Amino acid sequence: MNKHLEISPEVKSALENGKPVVALESTIISHGMPYPQNVETALLVEDTIRQEGAVPATIAVIGGRLKAGLTKEEIEYLGKKGTAVTKASRRDLPVLVAQKRDGATTVATTMIIAHLAGIRIFATGGVGGVHRGAETTMDISADLEELSRTPVMVVCAGAKSILDLGLTLEYLETKGVPVIGYQTSELPAFYTRVSGYKVDYRIDTPEDLAAAFNAQQEMGLKSGMLVTNPIPEEWSMDPAYINSAIDQAVEEARQKGIHGKETTPFLLAKVKNLTGGDSLKANIQLVLNNARLAARTARYLISL
């Protein structure tokens, strides 16, 4: 086992006994939602995964240790510290580990640590992507690069239109990352079930998701797989309403010169304020929905 990795006793025993395990990220806790909803959601997501018969492994860097499986206290700690914790993508890991610091893991780093621990599937809300205006800013999330090189299945609710969805799909195509729609052939746009863009393949059951991922592994392709799971109908938001909030947020970020890793957290917080908190409610429900699908798929993955 990697010397920097620390697997919690519950996760370790599940992995050793061939039980299904689902990884979870921690940037969504520290930077993606406000306290205390962030901690409540993180714990609820863990419970949901347990109810579906799998073991949750929330991932973070704590005191320079790469942790797979956090205690309630550790989740509470990251949630309270919020944006004061370093948002840790691939490039942040060396210094955080060497200096024994804390880091909340993005999709990219959660994939890295999950893979080190032997966890094949990971549930989250949204992934990073190609930002609008990237043709001049070059703001492209390291999540996309990670999906091309680390063999973990990422279950998300699609990409929200703070990103350029068309360019995000082009980038994933170039990098050879399969984009799967769960029970849909349209790419879901996080808060809404529709985006106007098509996914590469529609797959309708957790068993078939597991089979596709397994085939990718058997061929030694090494890349990840992006599963996009639409927000449940009853929680989906009106596209015109949410997109106008997003447009306003993107424009304000541009005027204020927000850039780099601050962009995504800024936009999420802004959209939440502009929708009077409605976007947060939708966000929580879609994460729970992704956790359920990931847990069900994990149960098939272990039998393959």
Catalytic residues: 25, 160
Strand, coil or helix: 98: helix
Residue 158 binds which entry of Mn ion, ligand PSU, none, CB below 5-8 Å type-dependent? none
Identify the CA nearest to 123 among candidates 198, 20, 243: 20
CB atoms within 10 A of CB 185: 10
Residue 224 binds which entry of ligand PSU, Mn ion, none, CB below 5-8 Å type-dependent? none
By CB under 6 A, which span of 44-52, 120-128, 204-212, 216-224 interacts with ligand PSU?
120-128
Residue 28 binds which entry of Mn ion, ligand PSU, none, CB below 5-8 Å type-dependent? ligand PSU
- Residues 6-25 touching ligand PSU, rule: CB under 6 A, are 25
Question: Is 164 one of the binding residues for Mn ion (CB under 5 A)?
Answer: no
Is the CB of 102 or the CB of 139 nearer to Mn ion?
139
- Residues 131-190 touching ligand PSU, rule: CB under 6 A, are 141-143, 160
DSSP strands (E only) in 217-264: 225-228
Question: Is 38 one of the binding residues for ligand PSU (CB under 6 A)?
Answer: no
Residue 296 binds which entry of ligand PSU, Mn ion, none, CB below 5-8 Å type-dependent? none
Q: In whole angstroms, what is the distance from residue 290 CA to residue 52 CA?
A: 12
For residue 56, say if its preceding peptide bond is cis, omega within 30 degrees of 0: no
Is the CB of 137 or the CB of 303 nearer to Mn ion?
137
Among 25, 46, 52, 139, binds Mn ion (CB under 5 A): 139
Q: Which element (helix H / strand E) includes 3?
A: none
DSSP strands (E only) in 106-166: 121-123, 153-156
CB of 168 to Mn ion, least distance (A): 12
Question: Is 106 one of the binding residues for ligand PSU (CB under 6 A)?
Answer: yes
CB of 281 to Mn ion, least distance (A): 26
Is the CB of 107 or the CB of 172 nearer to ligand PSU?
107
Q: In whole angstroms, what is the distance from residue 242 CA to residue 234 CA?
A: 15
Q: In whole angstroms, what is the distance from residue 298 CA to residue 57 CA?
A: 12
CB of 142 to Mn ion, least distance (A): 7
Q: In whole angstroms, what is the distance from residue 88 CA to residue 96 CA?
A: 8
Question: Is 27 one of the binding residues for ligand PSU (CB under 6 A)?
Answer: yes
- Residues 220-259 touching Mn ion, rule: CB under 5 A, are none
CB of 149 to Mn ion, least distance (A): 18
CB of 247 to Mn ion, least distance (A): 19
Identify the CA nearest to 1 among candidates 15, 17, 21, 19: 15
Number of residues that bind ligand PSU (CB under 6 A): 19
List beta partners, residue 155: 123, 227
CB of 178 to ligand PSU, least distance (A): 19
Is the CB of 160 or the CB of 299 nearer to ligand PSU?
160
Is the CB of 142 or the CB of 212 nearer to ligand PSU?
142
Question: Is 25 one of the binding residues for Mn ion (CB under 5 A)?
Answer: no
Q: In whole angstroms, what is the distance from residue 264 CA to residue 49 CA?
A: 26
Q: Phi, psi (5° rounding) for residue 127?
A: -100, 160
- Residues 53-92 touching Mn ion, rule: CB under 5 A, are none
Q: In whole angstroms, what is the distance from residue 294 CA to residue 289 CA?
A: 9
Look at strands 86-88 and 65-68 and give their pairing: unpaired
List beta partners, residue 181: 202, 228
Instruction: Say which residues have a Cβ less than 8 Å from residue 138's Cβ, sequence separation at least 6.
Output: none
